[in-house]
A and B are shown apart, each in its own frame.
Chain A
Amino acid sequence: MPELPGLAAKPFRLFTQEEVDKIDRAVMWTLEEVGIQVNSERARELLMKGGARPKDDSTLSVPEGLVREAVERAPSRVVLHGRDERHNLELEDARVYFGTGGTVLHTLDLDTGERRPTTLLDIARVGRLVDALENVHFYLLPLYPNELAKDDVDVNRFYAGLTNTEKHIMGGIYSPEGLREAIALAEEVAGGAEALRERPIVSFITCTIAPLRIDATYGDFLVEIAERGLPVAIPSEVVAGVTGPVTISGSIVVQLAETLAGLTVAQMANPGTPVLLGTVSTVMDPRRAGYLSGAVEMGLMQAGVAQMAQHYRLPLYATAGMSDSKLPDAQAGYEKALTALLVGLAGANFIHDAAGPLEFCMTAAYEQYVIDDEILGMVMRAVRGVEVSDEALGLDAIAQVGPGGHFLTNPHTLEHMRSELFTPRVSDRDLRERWEQNGAPNTRTRARGIAKQLLAEHRPPGLPEATDRKLRERFSKIALPEEEARP
């Protein structure tokens, strides 16, 4: 039985309330006293309209009152829809969902195991795989189609996603024209602009640039998406020690300042527009000053931000379940499990990058999606926690069996075993003889077999034929072969 998506964690707390307040004050101080560099004219005007004052040519001091007002205006609950309603993500409080992320440039080929550039076909096929994986709750477009021209990338990525899974699609954007095309595409599928606003089956990402900057292009994207009333995540990507203080709490301050500045821009553009606070932040590898994706400190940092987002009563786009290993091996397993568990138990809402990526989020592997689905199932089981109802305590069963008996055939066992115990698909629990009879496969080999089987057998419902025809007529740059859109 699969774990249910969107369970509310009884969140583990990294900070005391006093510490939460201290971090909050530090964030407001940073926004007001240090300020944020805003290179987007539109974002700048909006912040100044709200009372932000220029500190110099590009940096604005953002007053606490303006930020607090934006936090109040922003919805505490954002629902991201799947094409099929059963995949809706109800982002609020400590509800937890996990999904994919990227954007990676390389994949380990499923047949050869060789690293090669990702293509549009991979986006379609990984989408199909994700559609079949029950513990991967959304499809954040994880791969870059290396063979396409930059102007063709956006509409093709969203098309490949929407046609291959009914789960929610989120994606980064590569050009202003691409953003408009991706929105037009989603509107066509949803049944118009109003229908898309009501049931957003796609959502977008616009990053800030650490430390404390809003870029011209992304700032403009943010304003445009907010004006259209579509959901947008505003992640900050601090690398502690490089683009933020090396200390975890110090870097939490910088990333909250950035994402709250972005949220304030969005709320000034369109009060009440759905926004996810966001963090992709991590710590540096001090030996290279490079980005790390599998560090335990990243898990702590993300868990801390989750607690802060709950304090602001705002949904959070968080990051966990990655690895710096170059292939699906033991390091990939423990790094992914550790960070996913920390951030899941903290009750972060929309936890991305949790399936697929390896190597600093630069490479993905088909079989890794399958392995990660299993890790995430276990994490969701942990998030579900332990029930202590009368029924769960099972005193009747304890009395019925009594000293010296067994519980195997007791009705209480039969009633609860499928929900109480997580059933793995990848993990090997066989006795040695049987495992040897099966060729003594390791985890990666088993996962590869499952990935191949799911890709061969799983047939997600594509778009209605008439819609698909319309899309192909309207967007001549759609490059995905028809058989990959209607598998």
Chain B
Amino acid sequence: MLDDLKQAVLEGEQEQAIELTQKALEGGTDASTILNDALIAAMDIVGAEYERGDRYVPEMLISAEAMKGAMGILRPKLTEAGVKSRGKIVLGTVEGDLHDIGKNLVTMMLEGAGFEVEDLGIEVPAKQFVDAVREHEPEILGMSALLTTTMVHMPDVIKALEEAGLRDKVKVILGGAPVTQEYADKIGADGYAADAASAVDLAKRLVPQG
């Protein structure tokens, strides 16, 4: 059963993954066993195949979607059992920028890795980021920008977090085509990732498993 579920996630069959998760729970398998032995085991393989260049991004995304579907059923059970999520992340594209594909990719990948993600969408002003950090208390705040002209709003958000007294409560990470590690360092962010897969690595590094 768990092998079938693992296979369903590898192949990106969301409906099947949901159904098999349901059956496994009904059959008495406990939630964290399903999570670790089937879902995370599958996503580890997905990650390794991606790293080798054998798995393309669309194939990785459908696996993440399947994982997310299964997690929808599993999460309440995990909460009941007192198992915490991998971590909470608030994400958005900065003010003036309506590009969302990169950010959506990152969201899917993070969810696939077991993080809880609050996606604020596009053209998010500094105040909204600050409010979301206050409300959701995430471990990580992620900002995305595709344009050189909107990237400049990133330091505004960091400043607004400082002014709200929240800067030391959350790690700030950046992504997007014009953003670089140098830029992230310059404006005082905690991390930068060049693509969705390395964003997951970065998040895992910043939020060590407790």
Contact = CB atoms under 8 A, between A and B. Distances in A.
Interface of A: 39, 103, 105, 144, 150, 174, 209, 213, 215, 241-243, 284, 286-291, 360, 362
A106 to B, nearest CB: 9
A105 B148 contact: yes
Contacts of A291: 177
Nearest to B197: A288
Contacts of B195: 288, 290
B126 interface: no
Interface in B39-69: 50, 53, 56-58
Most buried by B among A103, A105, A209, A289: A289
Ranked 3 nearest A-B pairs via Cβ: A289-B57, A286-B56, A287-B53
Contact of A286 (B58, B98, B148): B58
A286 B178 contact: no
Contacts of A241: 58
Interface in B185-199: 195-196
A287 B56 contact: yes
Given A209-B99, A286-B58, A291-B177, 16 more contacts: A39-B98, A103-B148, A105-B148, A144-B148, A150-B152, A209-B98, A242-B101, A284-B57, A286-B57, A287-B53, A287-B57, A288-B195, A289-B57, A289-B58, A289-B105, A360-B177
Nearest to B59: A286
Contacts of A362: 177-178
B148 to A, nearest CB: 6
Contact of A288 (B57, B99, B148): B57
A174 B57 contact: no
Nearest to B182: A117
B49 to A, nearest CB: 11
Contacts, number: 34
A285 to B, nearest CB: 8
A-side interface mostly:
loop
B209 interface: no
Interface residues of B, number: 16
B56 A150 contact: no
Interface in B92-129: 98-99, 101, 105
A284 B196 CA distance: 15
A122 to B, nearest CB: 15
18 contacts: A105-B148, A105-B178, A144-B148, A150-B152, A174-B149, A209-B98, A242-B101, A243-B101, A287-B50, A287-B57, A288-B57, A289-B57, A289-B105, A289-B196, A290-B195, A291-B177, A360-B177, A362-B177
Interface string B142-154: 0000001100100
A481 B87 CA distance: 52
Contacts of B196: 289
Contacts of A290: 195
Contacts of A287: 50, 53, 56-57
Contacts of B177: 291, 360, 362
Given A105-B178, A289-B105, A150 B149 contact: yes
A58 to B, nearest CB: 11
A303 B56 CA distance: 27
A218 to B, nearest CB: 11
A67 to B, nearest CB: 24
Most buried by B among A209, A242, A288: A288
B137 to A, nearest CB: 31
A288 B177 CA distance: 13
A286 B58 CA distance: 7
B67 to A, nearest CB: 18
Nearest to A213: B98
Contacts of A150: 149, 152
A103 B99 CA distance: 17
B59 to A, nearest CB: 9
A213 B149 CA distance: 19
Nearest to B55: A287
Contacts of B152: 150
Nearest to A146: B148
Nearest to A241: B58
Contact of B98 (A103, A215, A289): A215
A144 B152 CA distance: 14
A150 B149 CA distance: 7
A213 B98 CA distance: 10
B61 to A, nearest CB: 8
Nearest to A289: B57
A431 B56 CA distance: 46
A287 B59 CA distance: 10
Nearest to A285: B57
Contacts of A284: 57
B28 to A, nearest CB: 40
A242 B61 CA distance: 12
Contacts of B149: 150, 174
Contacts of A213: 98
A223 B57 CA distance: 38
Contacts of B53: 287
Interface string B25-39: 000000000000000
A243 B56 CA distance: 16
A62 to B, nearest CB: 20
A215 B105 CA distance: 22
A167 to B, nearest CB: 25
A289 B98 CA distance: 18
A241 B105 CA distance: 13
B163 to A, nearest CB: 22
Nearest to A175: B149
Nearest to A153: B149
Contacts of B178: 105, 362
Contacts of B99: 209
A307 to B, nearest CB: 29
